[in-house]
């Protein structure tokens, strides 16, 4: 199956209004900013979008808005919609709703808390892929899920399930990532799930990044990924080191709180969260302001 998810995609935040409702105007404004700055694909309703706090109707609405804005763009911008969880049957229903909303593919995080075995992970993702017939991107983030999709399991899924086309790797384990890149079938890609490892994973043979930083800096992150993937490491290193304080700063506290603060400072959304997410601490605000000034996001 064709995989349209290469290059840099933005793990979009979900803007909320002061009354905690979905801020549709801000969401559309953010999506248009991404498209205008050259983002390669859009990722609404991932965990950066505070998805656990969205209602099913809000989840579907956010994806539909991303699809609508992408359709208006002068170039093709695929939409990779988040559909993950630890109840396989429920994830399948969410994935079907994403498909009905017009998504081009599904990003599905490894089940959290119940810590399935590798066989359980294989069966979970196989069932999701069989139910939607869209490209499926696995999402491995052990630091948040407490379950690691091992390289052997990723490769087994890549070989056995035609519409599992990529993995977003946020384990931080470069050896594991290298084994996946070396062993995967043609057309199966590894995308970095860590902004600060985009250069390293690109050097290993990865083909892209699902980025939190690109919410605020889509153009530079697209350029960084393109340089790393093409082997222009001098350009990639220059961008990496310029933006490294920012790439680290947006994880000073639990994401997406810092990046949402940044976007609020830039005027793209309000600094409104849904519990259990809360505003970042005053000391973190001061540090983020300094980082933003240093990289040119704040005058």
SS (H, E, C) the chain: CCCCCCEEEEECCCCECCCCCECHHHHHHHHHHHHHCCCCEEECCCHHHCHHHCCHHHHHHHHHHHHHHHHHCCCCCCEEEECCCCCHHHHHHHHHHHHHCCCCEEEEECCCCCCCCHHHHHHHHHHHHHHHCCCEEEEECHHHHCCCCCHHHHHHHHHHCCCEEEEEECCCCHHHHHHHHHHCCCCCEEEECCHHHHHHHHHHCCCEEEECHHHCCHHHHHHHHHHHHHCCHHHHHHHHHHHHHHHHHCCCCCCCHHHHHHHHHHCCCCCCCCCCCCCCCHHHHHHHHHHHHHHCCCC
| Residue 103 tokens, joined | 């998504």
Cβ atoms within 10 Å, residue 146:
13
Q: What backbone phi and psi angles, to 5 degrees, belong to 207? A: -120, 15
Residue 234 scores a pLDDT above 90? yes
pLDDT at 227 over 90: yes
- pLDDT over 90 (residue 1): no
Q: What separation in angstroms does the CA of 107 have from each of 23, 96, 201, 244, 253?
A: 23, 12, 19, 26, 24
What residue has token string 């600060």? 196
**Cα gap 73→116, rounded to integer Å:** 40
Rounded to whole angstroms, how far apart are CA atoms 124 and 272? 34
Mean pLDDT across the chain = 97
Q: What is the pLDDT of residues 204-220, one digit of tens each?
A: 999 999 999 999 999 99
What whole-number distance in Å separates Cα of residue 220 and Cα of residue 49? 21
Which of 96, 112, 115, 168 is the catalytic position?
168
Share of the chain above pLDDT 70, in %: 100
pLDDT of residue 224: 98
- Alpha-carbon Rg for the chain, nearest whole angstrom, is 18
Residue pLDDT, tens place only, 125-143: 999 999 999 999 999 999 9
Domains of the chain: 7-232 (3.20.20.70)
- Residues 263-271: what's their mean pLDDT? 98
pLDDT higher than threshold 90 for residue 66: yes
**Cross-strand partners of 9:** 41, 210
- On the 0-12 / 13-18 / 19+ scale of CB atoms within 10 A, 28 is middle
113 catalytic per annotation: no
Res 2 pLDDT > 90: no
The per-residue pLDDT for 299 is 82
**Would residue 139 show up in a list of annotated catalytic residues for this protein?**
yes
pLDDT bin (cut points 50, 70, 90) of residue 103 is: very high
* Tens digits of residue pLDDT in 6-31: 999 999 999 999 999 999 999 999 99
- Which residues share a beta bridge with 137? 107, 166
- pLDDT, residue 63, reads 98
Could you identify the residue written with the tokens 């694909």?
41
Q: Confidence band (pLDDT; 50, 70, 90) for 174?
A: very high
Q: What is the pLDDT of residues 141-164, one digit of tens each?
A: 999 999 999 999 999 999 999 999
Taking 90 as the threshold, does the pLDDT of residue 288 lie above it?
yes
Of 112, 139, 268, 273, which one is the catalytic site residue? 139
Tokens for 223, please give them: 């350029």
pLDDT given at position 38: 98
Indicate whether this model's pTM tops 0.85.
yes
Summarize the confidence of residues 100-127 as an average pLDDT.
97
CB 207 within 8 A of CB 198: no
For residues 169, 48, 229, 79, the Cα torsion angle rounded to the nearest 10 degrees is 110
The tokens describing 128, both together, are 């999701």
């Amino acid at each position: 199956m064709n995989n349209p998810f290469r290059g840099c995609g933005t793990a979009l935040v979900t803007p909320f209004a002061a009354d905690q409702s979905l801020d549709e105007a801000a969401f559309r404004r953010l999506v248009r900013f991404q498209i205008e700055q050259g983002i390669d694909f859009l990722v609404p309703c991932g965990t950066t979008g505070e998805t656990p706090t969205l209602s099913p109707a809000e989840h579907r609405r956010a994806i539909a808005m991303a699809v609508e804005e992408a359709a208006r763009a002068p170039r093709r911008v695929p939409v990779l919609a988040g559909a993950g969880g630890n109840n396989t049957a429920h994830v399948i229903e969410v994935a079907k709703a994403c498909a009905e909303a017009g998504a081009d593919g599904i990003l599905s995080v490894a089940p959290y808390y119940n810590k399935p075995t590798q066989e359980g992970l294989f069966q979970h993702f196989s069932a999701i892929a069989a139910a939607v017939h869209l490209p499926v991107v696995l999402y491995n983030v052990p630091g948040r899920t407490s379950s690691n999709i091992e390289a052997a399991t990723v490769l087994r899924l890549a070989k056995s399930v035609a519409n599992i086309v990529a993995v977003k790797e946020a384990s931080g384990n470069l050896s594991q990532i290298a084994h996946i890149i070396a062993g995967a079938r043609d057309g199966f890609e590894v995308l970095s799930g860590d902004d600060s490892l985009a250069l390293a994973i690109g050097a290993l043979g990865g083909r892209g990044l699902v980025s939190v930083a690109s919410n605020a800096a889509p153009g530079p992150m697209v350029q960084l990924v393109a340089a790393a993937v093409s082997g222009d490491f001098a350009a990639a290193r220059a961008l990496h080191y310029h933006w490294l304080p920012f790439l680290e700063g947006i994880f000073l506290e639990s994401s997406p709180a810092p990046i949402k603060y940044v976007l609020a400072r830039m005027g793209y959304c309000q600094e409104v969260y849904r519990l259990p997410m809360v505003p970042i601490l005053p000391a973190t605000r001061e540090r983020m302001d300094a980082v933003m000034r240093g990289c040119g996001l704040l005058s």
